[in-house]
Structure 1
C-alpha cells in the first residue's frame, strides 16, 4: 500500500496541471492538451524515452465493443482472429486507429501508382509532349514491340516496321486492308522547281549503298502470288551503273516458262534494246522469229490512216505528202539535198535482196515542177552501156550489173553517191527510161526502113511489069 501511494505521489509530482486543462508530463509548461517531454532529450543516456501505446493481438482488437473514434492501438500479432468485421483492415503488425467503424492502418503503405510502366490505363484528355532538345527513345527486343492498333507496328526483334500489319515481312512493309479502294502508297510533294527558285525534289529514291555491283543495283518488283517473299514475275532494275558520273540505265524483266530475263534495256547512252542487253543503235531488236512469229510486227488498225511506219532520215519531215486512204505500210522519205554528189538512198542493203510482189514509185504530176522531155539520152547511150558479170569482193558471190563509174560517164543521173565519201549506187529502174528512148529511136528507124522497103518494092514491081 505504501508502494502504491508513493508511486501515485511521484506521478503527481511529475504532472503539471494548468487551469486551462493542459497537462504536462516532464514539463511544467505544457503547450497542448497533453505535452510529454523526454527525460533525456539530448545526450548519450541509454534510458528509454517514449510513449508506449497499448499492445493487443488481432483477436483482442476484433473483440472490442463501443470503441471511441480515434482510439490508437498497436497490433502485435495477426495469427489470432480473422480479417473480418472491424478487423477487416488488420493484415499486418503495426499501429491502427479506430475511424468509427473499423480499425485502419495509421501508416498505410504507399499506394501503387498506375502508369504506363506497371498498368494499363485510359487517356482522359489530350496530351502534348514538348521535347525541345531532349530525345525520346524506346528500347525493345520483341516482335510487335510498339504498335497502334493494326495500323502501325514496330518489330524490334527483326528491325522491321509494318503499316497495316503487325507481322511485317520486310524492313518496311505496307499492307492495305482487304477490299480497300484507297491508294496503298502515295509519295507527293509541293514544289514548283525553277520558276519559284526551288530545287528539284524527288518523290521516290532507290539506291544501293554497296558500290561493288553495276547491274541490278536497285529494283521495283511485281510479285504475282499473294506472298511478297515469293519470286518476282516482273521487275524494273537499275543497270549500266557509273558511280563517278551518276549514270544509270534500266532493265525491264519478265518471267515465263523458259526464263526470267530482261526483255527491254535502256542504256545510259539512250540506246534501247529489245531482246538484247547490248543495243548497238538507238533501237536494236533481236530475236529468233519464224514464219508465223516475226521479230517485229507493226499494225495500223486505222485502215484510212497514215502509214504504219514513217522513216525520215537526215532531216525533218512530217509525212505531209502522204494522203489518207493510200494505206501505205512503210514510208521512206530521204532528203535529196541540194547537190547531186550526196547519198540520197532511203533503203540500203549491201549484199541481200529486196523482194516484193510488186512495187511502184510516186510519180504524181502534183509532186513535180519544171517538167521537160528527156531527149538527151537514147540509143546512143544504150549502145555505150556495157553489162558486166563480176564477184562481190566482201562476200565472194557472183553477180551481174553495170559499173557505176562507167555508167556515170554515160548517164550521170543514174548514179548517186560521192566516191570521196562513200560507195556509188545505180538506179537500175531508171535505165528503162533511157531504153524507152532507144526503143523509140529504133522504132523510128524501123519505120524509115519500112518506108524505104515499100518504095523499093514498088519500084521493083514497076520495072518488072515493063
Structure 2
C-alpha cells in the first residue's frame, strides 16, 4: 500500500463510478498528512471540483467551487458501516441498517448546489432549503412526505420486535388504516372523503364528534347507536352499553350523576339524574322548577319502590294515587245531581278484550261513547276518578231519596198504627153497641110479652 504526502487524481481517468470512491477510501489509497486532502478535479467541466479532507475531528466532502461542505463525518464517534455503497448491487446502507436503499445503481447519491440530497434516484429526497424529506417523491409537501404507487405503509417496531404497528393509505381504497401487526387487528380506520370534524380534540381536553367546538368532555352532533352481540353469563346477563358515574370531592356538593336531552331547534331540554344516595331517579324539564317524575326508595325490596309525578300523582306500594289536592285545583264547584244522573243514564258498560291480549276479558267503557261530562278531550282514554265522581253523586242522590222514602214509610207506619188504634177503639165501641142493642132488643121483647099477657 502506497503512502504519499499529496496526491492529485484526475477524475476522468479513474473515477469510473461515484461508488468507486468508497472503495478507494477504504483500502487502495492512504494519504498521510497533518490535514490530509484529496482533490477531484473535473477537467471537462468547470465548477465540478470536489475535495475530501480531514482534520483531528471530522472528515469533509466539500464542493470546491462554491466552498460548501456536502457531507461531514466525525472521526472519533462514527460507527462501523456508517455509510456503505455496493458497486455490484447498487445498494446503499446508512448507519448499519438504519436506512437501506436497494438497487440504487444509477444516481445512487446526488447532492446539488442548493444542498438538496437525492438518494437512489428519488427513493429518498432531502429538500435542504425547506427542511423537508421525501420518500418516493422529490417534491415533499411537509417535513416528511411518503409516496408509493400502491399501498403506502409506515411501520413502527420496538427493538425486540415484540410490537409492530403499521399505518397505511390503501392504494385502491384510498382509506387510512392503523394496524396492530403483532396481534393481527386493525383498531383504527378513516375512510376516504370522511367529513371535516368527524373527530375533534380541542385544547381543553374536550372531544367533539361532528363538531369543532365541543362544549363537554364528549360532544356528539348526530345520531348515536350502540349494539352488542355475544355471550354474557355475569349476574342476570345485563350488558351495560353505557355507564355514567360521578364522585364529587366537594363535601357540600352532591355527587348526583345524570344526562341531558336537548332539542336543538327549541333549546328545550330534559335533565335525568340520580341522587347522591343512588336510591332515587328524577326527570326534569328545564325551566319548570321541579321534577316531572321521581322514582324513590328503590331498595333490594322492589315492593317498596315509589313513583311520584310532578302533577302530584303517585304510585305507592303498588297502588296508584291520583293527584287531588285543593292546592292543585281551581274553578271548584259542586256537581249537580241533574248532570250526574244524565251522564249516569248515558253510560254504556260493555265487555271486551284488548287487541294485544285476545284472551283477557275486560269490563269497562268505550272512550268515544261516554257522555261529555266524563270524556277527555282526546277521547282516547278515561279517568276512573270521573266515573267515581258521577257514581258517587248518583248514589248520594239515591241515598237521599231512600232516606225520604224511609221517612215517609215511617210516617205512614205511624198513621197506620194510629188508624189501627182507632179501629180497635171503634171495634170495642161496636161490641159495646152490639151488647147494648142486644140488651135493648131483649128488653123490648120482654115488654111486648108482658103487654100480651096483660091483655
Tell me if TM exceeds 0.5.
Answer: no
Higher relative contact order (CA 8 A, sep 6+): 1
More helix by share: 2
TM-score normalised by length of structure 2: 0.38
